[in-house]
Structure 1
């Protein structure tokens, strides 16, 4: 297994910690049909729901568990496509999802306290989408 796959899995896991459906949507962009459409709709819906006042904290057991599972799934899908074993990338992505969930919650709390709640959330959206897109396409590491 290459370090490139592990790095990409970690980035996808971190993106899942920010926006759980985004990594799978990024991976689905290479596919056509219903998978791509459903994954994109799920990710877009999450971008909206995340801003609603009744949305639970990402650190509650249910939302955190979902981020862990979806991050691990994204890492496994990526590894499978690369012809690598899935266990290590899935575990790395899951750990990255936990770390990014905590970092994102801290970021959002700071942004809200500073009066930049919505812009902070939008910045996190952008970071998650960009990171997941780059990791899904394999543009993180230049291969010689």
Structure 2
């Protein structure tokens, strides 16, 4: 669809990057975003131990966002500017079906835990009514550890192919 053509400018043709160049870009993104996710996952444990559960949930959300971002950048060279881990996860699942099982929502408890993690980016910091239990956090930490392992495996395999 042509919106306007002044006849004064021409666009250059799109070109394909060689895989070696894309591989370097993917590796750089992976190192940045996976390291960030790994750091947030470690960091969520300190406030947890001090009983600062909301802060722990926020860091856990950041870890989740970073791992999904790693996958999107390695596989698609694209990451939307959003903090919606449900949307990021939905996009990442296109690259590996194992990701569908990271945050199951088959039971009301599983669904509630994921919703608490999803809301943690804003509510854990700014909503005095946001509450998450130690048990819910322990469950979510386990799920994010699983996401980390899948992210590491599929991203390094993609970079090394």
The two structures have a TM-score, normalised by structure 1, of 0.37
More helix by share: 1
Could you say which structure has the greater relative contact order, defined with CA pairs below 8 angstroms and 6 or more residues apart?
1
The two structures have a TM-score, normalised by structure 2, of 0.35
